[in-house]
Structure 1
Amino acid sequence: MGEPLLSVRDLVKTFPGRRSRAGRAGAPIRAVDGVSFDLGAGETLGLVGESGCGKSTTGRMIVRLLDPTSGTVTFDGTEIGGLSQAQLRPHRRHLQMVFQDPYSSLNPRQTVARIISEPLLVQGTGAADARKRAAELMELVGLIPEHLDRYPHEFSGGQAQRIGIARSLATSPRLVIADEPVSALDVSIQAQVVNLMEQLQRELGLAYVFIAHDLSVVKRVCDRVAVMYLGRIVEIGDKAEVYGRPAHPYTKALLSAVPLPDPAAERARERIVLLGDPPSPANPPAGCGFHPRCPKAQEVCRTERPLLRIVGAGGAASGGAAAGGRQAACHFPEE
């Protein structure tokens, strides 16, 4: 892959636990627990997993909307995790985010022109040039430039998400973190927004971290896939390998729930139903975090936390999710 555009190493985010009525502090919540991966220029990495697994928190730490508890985020050769806001400003133009709910992420009191122009104005662009750029971006994302002076509530959900995408592109970024960008939209509108994001990637050379729980969407748009469970990456690799030969039992269970277009294949395949709910990150189980729900769990799974290692071709131990090849954090992976 060459020198990565984005390099995440051992990223951890811990939130303080809720206080009891007596004022005692609750157990800290380890939302992200040692995430590592690399992303190349123009590449798309999908972060998938159940709600609460830490994927959105990971995305927000990459763009520094949240500060990591520990670990490093290196973007284009610069470690940005420890920079002050003033030091971070020159890097922000190359690192942007698209949010899940377009209406919540757009200021209802501002016109679309102001919303799209704001990143440019913060970077010191003049008002006239910023408005001209906003009009160009409206056209680029398939909206009418003459609607710049309208407000967010005057647009449909799909149009509002296009506005959010236009805002993220205002400063010509190299990397966009897309946090469930289509999950709040109707299925037909989802396809349109996904088509738009693929088109923009081809035209502008963008790299994406695409956060989602819809594995069908991830399969379409991503080059590689990282599966998260309880704050950790449990499997990562090229999408063809992950989807075709899942190595971790959790990945296998997720994929078994994805509907197939062929009714005969749908009836014939094995469905894996996970029992119980994911453990609380405030009180994670010892050993492998997945072992209370895993059909393959053995004693070693209850006592030893598995590390990511290359699976297949001998399955030699590896240096984590940043290393090459398909990897899984499982004591008994499907080889």
Structure 2
Amino acid sequence: MSTEAAPTRAPAMAARAEQPLLRVRDLTMAFPGKRSATGRRGAPVRAVDGVSFDLEAGRTLGLVGESGCGKSTTGRMLVRLLEPTSGSVEFDGKDISRLSQRALRPLRRNLQMVFQDPHSSLNPRQTVARIISDPLLVQGSGAADARRRAAELMELVGLIPEHIDRYPHEFSGGQAQRIGIARSLATNPRLIVADEPVSALDVSVQAQIVNLMERLRAELGLAYVFIAHDLSVVKRVSDRVAVMYLGRIVEMGDKKSLYENPQHPYTRALLSAVPLPDPAAERRRERIVLLGDPPSPAAPPPGCTFHPRCPVAQEICRTERPLLRTVASREVACHMA
């Protein structure tokens, strides 16, 4: 597959080098509030609140943050598994955020997703052959061609093609995630949104899956939006990193500069929790412990939403919402940066 995909895709990538493959602007997702015992509906929950970023072809953007910060919701909106409340998602120069399902179907072959739990994302009643070939059948391929393609993809992701007629429960967690990756590759996509693809796996298996995804990116020219809460994994796979807190991006920039010199207090706290391989360096460094829990997205605090937990918050942080601005070669939403 790799020998066929690379030559056909390279000219297209070169022709589009002047514009991002993915352009996201002010993306917002507000879920309806829960109804009380009296029937009154509560305030809407702004799970994602004005997210904007660009992603070039063949590159990886890491999206990190605590659980509940809105990163998975963002990923699902990128591929239209969730309909955004407002904002836009442009893929290859075309706004796909308001397309009808009929108009979106031809574009879906270029947008695929890998889910967090490999077993729950696979239909237990279908064979691996049917799971992997299903996207091809939806796009109009014949059954024989789709099955042949499924066998090729199994080999590409490190599985034995002879196991094509087995069911998902016959595979380990790492093997099941390889099946999910093979399914996402079936239509030869240009962008894959990977939502916590290794968090449910053992550490040794995590390394195998990360190495596989890196190899596939190099061979096939893929672009990734890699969603995770493990900053060490994100550092391994990403070119740029966006840090989310309570539905907003608070810092975004080149991986090297962000990890070496974080500007936002939240980013510094997250990085201080990443274990270091050197025990002496681990003992010397200062661990930043954030007090309290993240506020509810249904009732975010005024000003900077991070100020109730921020160790350097000032009066302006409690009253004025910081916007993303360029600081030290990256974008930071912090008055104190």
TM bucket (normalised to shorter chain) is over 0.9
**Identity, % of aligned positions:** 81
Residues 137 and 166, structure 1, Cα contact 8 Å, conserved in 2: yes
Q: For residues 279 and 119 of structure 1, what CA distance do their matches in structure 2 show? A: 40
Q: CA contact under 8 A between 1:12 and 1:30: conserved in structure 2?
A: yes
Mapped to 1, the partners of 2:30 and 2:155 lie a distance apart of 41
* Equivalent position of 1:164 in the other structure: 180
Corresponding position of 1:228 = 244
Task: Give the whole-Å Cα distance in 2 for the aligned partners of 1:170 and 1:21.
Answer: 48
Deviation at 1:23, TM superposition (A): 1.1
Task: Give TM-score scaled by structure 1 length.
Answer: 0.95
Does 2:334 match 1:301?
A: no
Aligned residue for 1:113, secondary structure, equals: helix
State how 1:244-259 maps to structure 2 within 5 Å. 244-259=260-275
1:140 is matched with which residue: 156, 159, 171? 156
Runs of 4+ with deviation above 4 angstroms: none
Aligned-residue Cα RMSD (Å) equals 0.6
Counterpart for residue 336 of structure 2: 332
Report how far residue 2 of structure 1 moved: 3.4
Q: Secondary structure at the match of 1:208?
A: strand
Q: Is there any run of 5+ residues in structure 1 with no aligned partner, and where?
A: 313-324
1:235 and 1:251 in contact (8 A); partners too: yes
3-state SS, counterpart of residue 317 of structure 2: helix
Which residue among 124, 139, 150 is the counterpart of 1:108?
124
Instruction: Please state whether the residue corresponding to 1:104 is helix, strand or coil.
Output: coil
TM-aligned CA deviation for residue 26 of structure 1:
1.2
Aligned residue pair count: 321
In structure 2, distance between residues paired with 1:277 and 1:243 = 24
Residue 190 (str. 1) matches residue 194 (str. 2): no
Match of 2:291 in 1: 275
Map of 1:178 onto structure 2: 194
Deviation string 1:181-226 (CA, Å, 9 cap, x unpaired) is 0000000000000010000000000000000000000001000000
Task: State the match for 1:152 in structure 2.
Answer: 168
Q: Select which of 85, 93, 97 maps to 1:69.
A: 85
TM-superposition CA deviations, 1:72-116 (whole Å, max 9, x none): 000011100000000000110000000000111100000000000
SS at match of 1:102: coil
CA distance in 2, matches of 1:32, 1:217: 23
Task: Give distance in 2, aligned partners of 1:64 and 1:266.
Answer: 42
Give the distance between the partners of 2:332 and 2:268, measured in 1 at CA: 12
Gaps of 5+ in 2: 1-16
Residue 30 of structure 2 aligns to a residue in which SS? strand
In structure 1, C-alpha distance between the alignment counterparts of 2:67 and 2:31, rounded to whole Å: 17
